[in-house]
Structure 1
């Protein structure tokens, strides 16, 4: 089943980026449009909340908010470790 698209195109592109990295996007749940969940569920996560990020429906600046979502995905400690392991495997 496909999820509904976000109204702001920049945020939608950031959500697609997150999904390509393995993150799960769940729509609904309170005051936000949805949430992004990290696939690694690591206790050593940078935010100590297992990388759960709220996605707002009407951010003040959609471009800045989209960049913030991309940074969360790209700077996730689990994501970094997985990329590091892949780089080591490629070197061998």
Structure 2
């Protein structure tokens, strides 16, 4: 897994992974860094996933969105 260049987003990705979310490499989109999916023990929740952008307009806000989505799934 590669590291995100922004420390806030990288910490949020680490939080998601610690809660069982799965890191999925980005497809062919130039702006998408990766996708995060819920790795719930009973099967991944396909509606609980999100794209992590390479260069969001506000990196701290994007990191908070990641954390909020992970907490919503718990």
Superposition TM-score tier, normalisation by shorter sequence:
0.7 to 0.9
SS at match of 2:12: helix
Q: Which residue number in structure 2 is paired with residue 73 of structure 1?
A: 70
- Pairing 1:54–2:51 present: yes
Indicate the RMSD between aligned Cα atoms, in angstroms.
Answer: 1.1
Q: Which of 2, 5, 8 is the equivalent residue of 2:6? A: 8
Aligned residues: 69
Decide which structure has greater strand share: 2
Cα distance per residue 1:33-60 (max 9 Å; x no partner): 1100101224xxxxxx431200100000
Q: Which residue number in structure 2 is paired with residue 35 of structure 1?
A: 35
SS at match of 2:20: coil
- Which structure has the greater CA radius of gyration? 1
TM-score (norm 1): 0.70
**Structure of greater relative contact order (alpha carbons < 8 Å, 6+ residues apart):** 2
